[in-house]
Amino acid sequence: MTDKYNYSTHLDIKFEHFELIDIHQMVKECKDKWFNQTLTEVNGSVARVGIVEGEYHWHKHENDDEFFFVLEGKLLVDLENRTIELNPGQGVTITKNVMHRTRAPQKTVMLMVENRDIIPAGD
């Protein structure tokens, strides 16, 4: 589904345990408007970095919760009945099976924690 949209989504695990993860370097090297990279696996879940600007499409994950935590910028998480605004140092968990989309009015860097088998673009 990510081919349908202009997203650069990398589900491979980029860093093994004990390997240094340098988010600042990843941000500096990123040329994409919507970039996701799985960083590492922790007990069956994964930590991903998102370097984003613009908006994602509406979607849901039928069996998986999703956690967003903003490091830089601003992330808007639209739900059907409201919008949650996240600034640096703020996060939110979206419950499985809830329709949502994320928007970044400026370049935003976020961490996501989710099930390793989640399909980022939705079910």
Which residues, in sequence order, are bridge partners of residue 46?
41, 114
What are the structural domains, with CATH classification, of the chain?
8-115 (2.60.120.10)
Mean per-residue pLDDT of the chain: 92
For the chain, first and last CA: distance in Å?
Answer: 9
Low-confidence ranges of the chain (pLDDT < 50): 1-3
Instruction: Kindly report, residue by residue over 43-68, the tens digit of the pLDDT.
Output: 999 999 999 999 999 999 999 999 99
**pTM for the structure as a whole:** 0.90
Q: Which helix (H) or strand (E) holds 17?
A: none
